[in-house]
Amino acid sequence: MRMKQESTRDAARRKGWKIAAVGAAAVIVVGGGVGIATASPWDDAPSSSSAPSSSPGATKDPQAAPAPVAPAAPAGEYTVGLTPTDKALAVNPATAAAVTVEGATLDAVELTPRAGGTPVAGTLSEDGTRWTATDRLAFDTEYAFTYTVLDSTGQPQRKTSTFKTVEPANEADAALYPLDGSTVGTGQPLELTFSEPVTNRDAVEKAITITSTSGQPGDFYWLTDTRVRYRPETFWAPNSTITVNLNLFGVDLGNGMIGNADRTMTVKTHNTRLAVVDNATKTMNVYLDGKLDRTFPITLGTEDWPSTEGYMVVMEHYKSTQFRAESIGLNPGDPAYYPPTVVNHASRLSKGGAFVHEALPAAQVALGSFNVSHGCIGMSPEGAEYFYNTFAPGDVVQILNTDYGPMYVWDGFGDWNVPWDEWVGQPADGFGGSSPETSAP
């Protein structure tokens, strides 16, 4: 029989607020006054024009206007560049805060949260013309830049500017399944779930590095704009370690949403465990590390409720749970309806309700002979308990010869049913099929 579990997609929060562009504005200070310069402080200074020289033998015209002479630079003039600019809002905290000067030197620089706290560390260049922060900024924080400039006359000028970083509404984070430190089967894909929709997928993928001790390369496959899977071409090698580096701090996910953290996580695989279920023989052969360990008679889905074929991955276990026909769209009076039923040693294979479980007593006469389930794999009490105790999340079940087609990629972990060339060739704006609000039976 088959129990169906509703899956809902969180409505993606889309914000209209865009991240403010962060630039460096040049400020000219003349005699203590402040004005906005039209040229960047990093541009080459224009050379002064000089009076044209007379050609040999030319006679000077006493009525001619005097040649223009470049004015001397006023004493104490200098320019200041600020990153972020003064009064900037929604600043990406990955921005390297900096102060630069031309025509002067920096005597002191301090960058502190306005509400109090530890100053942001930074370094001053050897020539004293540039200070750059070496610590990261924090989210949702207003900062004050206080700096003292010594102009060309040696006079100190103390100035202050402020800016504010991205607020929590524009932060985004990501969660990994399996959890950090987990040990799983060799068929377990990695899944990242983002708190906000990702429209800048290339930037996000580049910010994520996944390596394994087996050296297996892999690729991403987007199910939705908030969920992406990662797997190699073939199952993970047994007894290997997979390391996931999420370098998402400051990464623009799109729509003004900014990644808020860097994390490193590891997942390990155990030995190879594979159960091959053949509808033609109504048997399950269990292979451990490639060697046949046990064979059990089974029953599968009927013609009206066929079992999908292809690869599935164990998702979770229940020593005892209740199946309800309503979860797969059946109501009292329907021909295939059954009352709420307690089943033992149930191992979930799909969101849609496919399980390996102990067949009900009335169904055990069908084991090895004919199909009576609603799509599940029914087993004897001994077989179901053996499977429950031997297989763990990430272990692989392969079903053959049901002629019903493979399980979808989103219905549990049907990832291995997607051909590799299709997996790596996913269109730039495509997803791995649209997951309905409730999975099909």
Residue ranges per domain, the chain? Answer: 25-36+75-166, 174-269, 273-407
The rounded distance, in Å, linking the Cα atoms of 377 and 355 is 6
Give the model's pLDDT for residue 431. 85
What pLDDT does residue 74 have? 54
DSSP line for 382-426: HHHHHHHHH--TT-EEEEES--S-BPPTTTTT-GGGS-HHHHHT-
Place of tokens 């950090």: 180
pLDDT beneath 50: ranges in the chain: 1-73, 435-441
d(CA 185, CA 288): 12
Residue in the block written with tokens 């053959």: 400
Cβ atoms of 410 and 432 within 8 Å: the answer is yes
Any catalytic annotation for residue 345? no
Q: Please determine whether the domains at 25-36+75-166 and 273-407 fall in the same fold group of CATH.
A: no
Q: For residues 131 and 118, give the distance between their C-alpha atoms in angstroms, rounded to a whole number.
A: 17
- Give the whole-angstrom CA distance, residue 379 versus residue 376: 10
276: left (phi over 0), alpha (psi -120 to 50) or beta: beta
Architecture in CATH for domain 25-36+75-166: Sandwich (2.60)
Out of 3.30.1540.10, 2.10.109.10, 3.40.50.720, 2.60.40.3710, select the CATH number for domain 174-269.
2.60.40.3710
Identify the pLDDT of residue 212: 98
Write the pLDDT tens digit of every residue in 301-356.
999 999 999 999 999 999 998 887 777 777 787 777 778 889 999 999 999 889 99
* Two structure tokens written together for 289: 């590390």
A 10 A CB-CB count for 16 gives 6
The catalytic residue among 317, 345, 374, 376 is 376
pTM listed for this prediction: 0.77
Give pLDDT, residue 172: 97
Query: Which among 317, 345, 357, 374 is annotated as catalytic?
Result: 357
Write out pLDDT tens, residues 101-157: 999 999 999 999 999 999 999 999 999 999 999 999 999 999 999 999 999 888 999
Question: Which amino acid appears at position 321 of this protein?
Answer: T
Fold (topology level) of 273-407: L,D-transpeptidase catalytic domain-like (2.40.440)
For the question of residue 270 being annotated catalytic, the response is no
Cα-based distances in Å from 415 to 44, 161, 387? 56, 52, 22
| Residue among 88, 246, 254, 93 nearest 168 (CA) | 93
